[in-house]
Structure 1
Amino acid sequence: MEAVILAGGFGTRLQKVVHDVPKPMAPVAGKPFLSYLLDQLDRQGCTHAVLAVGYKREVIQNYFGSGYKRISLSYSVEDKPLLTGGALKKALQMVTEDAVLVLNGDTFFGVDFSKMMDFHYRTHSDATLAVKELRDFSRYGTVHFDDDYRITKFVEKKACPKGFINGGVYVLNRNLFCDIPQDKFMMEKDFLEKYVDTKLFSAFPCDSYFIDIGIPEDYEKANKEFRKLV
């Protein structure tokens, strides 16, 4: 099992509480948040992870080096911002398996990666998104899918009493972006939403623990909860 972790975020909204480190290196319950993602990958049998890095990449590279536990680490470096889609397109050139896990470096979602990978292959999907059902939220957009779990549309963030959100864990085919000419684009806005009618994007519902540390309130929540969770 191989994985890509998007770890190049500036962490603009966190700068009031976290300074001078890329967002995935924000300390949570005594260690960098990225450590929890790598622990999760290690527990589930991942052997190679590519860290897509940019902003203050040396902080990540100096801390983790070329390996973490049983995972060998490679680095896909953005010399200039490529946005999430561009960063993924570049990082996928460094993997060898046909389908690859992708994690957002600021989100923890307790997905069973093997089951998700099996689902991806069984449905012959181009991309599979782990989705989480939430209630009474406005921070996230929603993912809509049919009875066969094929994603039919993405709806932009707004007040929502109940719905499924993109949980920041994907399985992507390695050649997914081969016909995308640009090198700088957003994964959700410029790819998922644009190609939802022409490519097979599937939803993998999961009700496991989920947290996104992208805002100070949830960052503080993670610090409290991870002391008990991990």
Structure 2
Amino acid sequence: MQAIILAGGFGTRLKTVVSDVPKPMAPIQSKPFLAYLLDYLHAMEFKQIVLSVHHMSEVIQAYFQNNYRGMTITYAFENEPLGTGGAIVHALKSVRQDEPTWVLNGDTFLALDYKAMYQQHRNSPLTLALQKVQDASRYGNVATHENQIIEFQEKGAVMPGLINAGVYLLHPTLFTAFSLPPIFSFEQDFLQPLITSIKPQAFIVNQYFIDIGIPEDYQRAQTEVPRIIESY
């Protein structure tokens, strides 16, 4: 299997505790968060990884180089921030075009059964992993009907729901039918306005999930993430 990991963000909200490395390289017990994510993908039998990088890309490249635990590592460099959508389109040039590609956020971790999601995906153009949570206010709720995503709802309402867990499975040709600018947000500029055309599918899970984007969750990750990864 092949995956693109979005690792080019600035990590603005985390700078109070981690300021000298890009957010995916934030240390978790002296090991980068991104390394734990790749450890999990190795356990899930991934073979090819494309790291989409921009901010302090040299730090990421120096650590992982071109191979990590037998997985081939290549890099899609952004000369300027392209937004999540632009970064995905750019990175897709570096993957095999004849099979689906996973896309992951580099600052979140979901203990996902990738093979099960792949089986459900089949020939769908796009499938999103949705995590069940008790409070969806930080992310916004995702409404579904019979495993099809029908609406991305605004952040703010404190309520149980489904959130976008930052793991996508898509065909590399997903974007070719649409006229898109070079810089755009995957969710705000593509998924939300084009939802009726794309008809994205939902793979709903209730597994361990963490987003290290804020200091409180980053501190929680120090003990939780190593324990979860070591169990695989």
Give TM-score, length-normalised by structure 1. Answer: 0.96
Q: Does 1:118 align with 2:119?
A: yes
Distance 2:131 2:91 in 1: 26
**2 CA distance for matches of 1:117 and 1:195?**
23
Please tell me the residue identity of whatever aligns with 1:93.
K
Distance of 2:75 and 2:226 partners within structure 1 = 29
Q: Which residue of 1 aligns with 2:104?
A: 103
- CA offsets per residue over residues 18-40 of structure 1, 9 Å max, x none? 01211000001220000011111
SS of residue matched to 1:111: coil
Any unmatched runs of 5+ in structure 2? none
CA contact (8 A) 1:29 1:226 kept: no
How far apart in 2 are the matches of 1:61 and 1:33? 14
**Aligned AA (2:124):** S
Once residues 227 and 100 of structure 2 are traced to their aligned partners in structure 1, the CA distance between those partners, rounded to angstroms, is: 33
Instruction: State the alpha-carbon separation in 1 of the partners of residues 150 and 74 from structure 2.
Output: 34
Q: Which residue of 2 aligns with 1:188?
A: 187
User: Please, which runs of 5 or more residues in structure 1 have no aligned partner?
Assistant: none
AA aligned opposite 1:129 = L
The answer on whether the counterparts of 2:67 and 2:73 sit within 8 Å (CA) in structure 1 is yes
Identity %: 47
Contact map agreement 2:136 2:159 (CA 8 A) in 1: yes
The answer as to whether partners of 2:134 and 2:159 remain within 8 angstroms in 1 is yes
Amino acid at match of 2:51: L
- Residue 161 of structure 2 aligns to a residue in which SS? strand
SS of residue matched to 1:160 = coil
TM-score by length of 2: 0.95
- Paired position in structure 1 for 2:61: 61
Q: 1:173 aligns with which of 166, 171, 174?
A: 171
Q: Which residue of 2 aligns with 1:204?
A: 203
- SS of 1:81's equivalent in the other structure is coil
Task: For residue 227 of structure 1, report the CA deviation from its aligned partner.
Answer: 4.1
Q: Which residue of 2 aligns with 1:220?
A: 219
Q: Which residue of 2 aligns with 1:160?
A: 158
Q: Is the 8 A contact 2:136 2:163 kept in 1?
A: no
Work out the CA distance in 2 between the residues paired with 1:226 and 1:85: 27
- The runs of at least 4 consecutive aligned structure 1 residues that moved more than 6 Å come to none
